[in-house]
Each structure stands twice: as C-alpha cells, then as structure tokens.
Amino acid sequence: MRICFFCKSPTGIHLKEHRLSLCPTCYPSWVEDQVAKTIKRFKMFVPQEKILLAVSGGKDSLSLWQILTRLGYVVHAFYISLGIKEENYSDISKEKCLIMAQKLSLPLHIVDLQKESGYNLNQVSKAYYKTCSACGVIKRYFMNQITLKENYSVVATGHNLDDEVSTLFGNVLRWDETYLNRQYPVIPPKAGLAKKVKPLIFLSEKQVALYALTSEIDYIRHECPYSTHASSLRYKENLHQLESYNAGTLRFFLTNFLNFRKKQIKEQEEKKEIKEVALYLCSSCQQLSTSKMCKYCSIMQKVAQRAKKNGG
Ligand code: AMP
Ligand code: FES
Ligand code: ZN
C-alpha cells in the first residue's frame, strides 16, 4: 500500500512522473507549491502587482484563480462571452466563472463579443473554417485591451503542460521558427501589448483535473463544440500515448525546450539582437498592431462581409 509523502496516511494518488504519492488532503497544497515555484522561477509577478487572470469556466483557469488566491495574490478575472449557443456552452461557462468569483469574493470583468462587435462566435465560424484560430485572436485582443485599459500589470492564462507541449509539438512539426522563437511562459510587455504569463505550464491536464476534484471546483465539463476539429486535440492524443509509455516525457520535452529558449533569450539580449517590429495604429480600432489593420478587425470585417452576403 502506498502512503502519502507528507502525512503518511494511505493514499490513492500516485504521480508516476514525480515518483510521489500523496493523499487527497495534501495534494492541493503540493499543486499550489508547484505553481508558486513556477511563478518564482520565471519571475512572473509579485504579490504587489495588479494581476488579471483570463478565465474560461474550465478546470484550468478556475483552479488557477483559486491557487493564486491561496498563495496570497489578489487576482481579478476576465471572461469573454463568445455567444456559443451549442450545448449552452457560453452561458454555462459564464455561470461557472461567476460562481468562482462569488466563492473567492473577487471581481470578474465580463466582455460580450456580440455587444462589442455585433457578431457572435457562431457567425465567426461561418466565415472561418478554422474557428478556434479566429477565436484565439478574439480572446487575445480583448484580454490585451482590458489589461491595458484597467491598468493591470500582467495577464495570466490557464494553459497547462499538455496545452503548452501540444503547441510546441505543432510548432516543431511545422518547423515554425517564428512561433518557436516566441514560445515562453513569460512574454514581456511591449508597446500596446500587455505582459502575459502561464503559471500552470508544469502541471498536466490530469493533475489540474485532480486539483479541481480534490478542491471541489465547479467547472464546465464539456469541451467547446468547435474544438473537435482542432489539431491540438490530435496532438494531445498522440502525446498522451507517448507519456503512457514513458512517464515524464512531456515535462522533459518542455523543460529542455525552455532551457534552450532561456539561453537564446539571454544571448539575444546580450547581443541586442531582439528586433523591434514596426507598429501601426489599426485603421479600424486605433490599437497598436503589427499590420495596418489588426488581426481582430480583419477577422470581424470578413465576418461582417459574410453575414451581409447571407442576409444578416
Ligand atoms: P483555451 O484556448 O480554450 O485552451 O484556453 C486557454 C486559456 O485562455 C484558458 O485557460 C483561459 O486562461 C483563457 N481563456 C479561454 N477562454 C476564455 C474566455 N472565454 N474568456 C477569457 N479567457 C479565456
Ligand atoms: Fe473558442 Fe472554442 S472557445 S473556439
Ligand atoms: Zn483593430
């Protein structure tokens, strides 16, 4: 019989990749400690900072909200309602965020895509086959906008180990140097762009799910109806198989990549090689952008054209 590493009581939780057994009572503190170490290691933020967390209603971001609160950070959250009508997805996910805000007695900013743009994600999906990619641009746009407008110094997201490794895997498969050279758990602030951090990157999807379960976190159980086509899901299936053959594979892959990136960033800083990209004021929304019209406005322009063609 396995016993908990901390309190020595009998336990059902065994973390093969860490060669560690824990009981359900000690497990949440172990998770919180892992997140604290990640925040410190990558100098993500300090308690005095004004921190914003993007919450989706899923297990990762809602668990992160509770973890950060338990670690002593005062974190406000932001939710964008995309208007996904299938399976009442947006209504249910918003409800889960509101429940957590009430549980923690912390503020939640809510942005409604329909109110902001006149369109919802169902209409976006008619103009964009790759709905998830367009949705990512929309989420990042509002995340950045609210962070800057409300003077938060940093915005955190709930990306976990599986998310980060599947992104890395996709970038490696396509040998996409632009994205490989950008992937890091801390993206420093730039003109018009808020600082972004990912404190959950060393916790697997399973470990976060177990945290949500042992900490009684109420989250939306079903996946976004548009995510079934996403290539990241196929990558994850394959990565899970590799992990099942050899526990720790995903963590090892990400850790070594980040060590390489850290060295690369240091060398670039020393040689002053980090190039400043040209910035424009978006011709439509006037926010700073790397193109004359920002990605969000280009997407919405195409959505509007499509809706007009279809009669509204
Ligand atoms: P996803 O792209 O759905 O895997 O989500 C990754 C992260 O983006 C989540 O952990 C949240 O931090 C953030 N996020 C996703 N959906 C939303 C949303 N509707 N509103 C605000 N943040 C979100
Ligand atoms: Fe954006 Fe699913 S939440 S496509
Ligand atoms: Zn714009």
pLDDT at 274: 63
pLDDT at 130: 85
pLDDT at 273: 66
Q: What is the percent of the chain where pLDDT is above 90?
A: 83
Higher-confidence position of 137 and 227: 137
**134 pocket-lining for ligand 2 (C-beta < 6 Å):** no
- The residue written with tokens 């040689």 in the block is 271
Phi, psi for 57 (deg, rounded to 5): 95, -5
pLDDT bucket at 308, cuts 50 / 70 / 90: confident
Residue nearest to atom 15 of ligand 1 (CA): 56
Report how far residue 71's alpha carbon sits from residue 156's, in angstroms, rounded to the nearest whole number: 15
Residue nearest to atom 14 of ligand 1 (CA): 56
* Cα 30 to averaged position of ligand 2 atoms, centre (Å): 31
Instruction: Tokens for 190, please give them.
Output: 């730039």
Report how far residue 224's alpha carbon sits from residue 222's, in angstroms, rounded to the nearest whole number: 7
pLDDT at 312: 59
For the chain, give the secondary structure using H, E and C: CCECCCCCCECCEEEHHHCEEECCCCHHHHHHHHHHHHHHHCCCCCCCCCEEEECCCCHHHHHHHHHHHHCCCCEEEEEEECCCCHHHHHHHHHHHHHHHHHHHCCCEEEEEHHHHHCCCHHHHHHHCCCHHHHHHHHHHHHHHHHHHHCCCCEEECCCCHHHHHHHHHHHHHCCCHHHHCCCCCEECCECCECCEECCCCCCCHHHHHHHHHHCCCCCCCCCCCCHHHCHHHHHHHHHHHHHHHCCCHHHHHHHHHHHHHHHHHHHHHHCCCCCCCCCEECCCCCCEECCCCCHHHHHHHHHHHHHHHCCC
pLDDT at 138: 97
Is 219 in contact with 125 (CB distance < 8 Å)? no
Nearest ligand, CA 288: 3
Ligand 2 pocket test, pick from 79, 121, 122 with the greatest ligand atom count within 8 Å of Cβ, gives 121
Report how far residue 128's alpha carbon sits from residue 135's, in angstroms, rounded to the nearest whole number: 10
Q: At what angle do helices 205-214 and 59-70 cross, to 10 degrees?
A: 60
Is 28 in contact with 36 (CB distance < 8 Å)? no
pLDDT tens for residues 160-197? 999 999 999 999 999 999 999 999 999 999 888 999 99
| CA distances, 109 to each of 62, 76, 79, 80, 145 (Å) | 14, 8, 6, 8, 12
Nearest ligand, CA 140: 1
Q: State the average pLDDT for the chain.
A: 94
Instruction: Tokens for 113, please give them.
Output: 């895509």
- Would the pLDDT of 204 be above 70? yes
pLDDT at 275: 66
pLDDT tens for residues 234-273? 999 999 999 999 999 999 999 999 999 999 999 988 887 6
Residue nearest to atom 1 of ligand 2 (CA): 135
Q: At what angle do helices 205-214 and 161-173 cross, to 10 degrees?
A: 160
Of the listed ranges 46-50, 130-134, 274-278, the least confidently predicted one is 274-278
Q: Tell me the mean pLDDT in the region 10-30.
A: 93
pLDDT bucket at 205, cuts 50 / 70 / 90: very high
Report how far residue 110's alpha carbon sits from residue 123's, in angstroms, rounded to the nearest whole number: 20
pLDDT at 61: 98
Q: How many CB atoms lie within 10 A of CB 124?
A: 26
* Cα 42 to averaged position of ligand 1 atoms, centre (Å): 21
Higher-confidence position of 22 and 271: 22
- Would the pLDDT of 229 be above 70? no
| CA distances, 121 to each of 53, 105, 113, 160, 293 (Å) | 22, 30, 8, 24, 20
Q: Tell me the mean pLDDT in the region 128-135.
A: 89
* Cα 90 to averaged position of ligand 2 atoms, centre (Å): 10
Ligand 1 pocket test, pick from 35, 59, 61 with the greatest ligand atom count within 8 Å of Cβ, gives 61
**159 pocket-lining for ligand 1 (C-beta < 6 Å):** yes
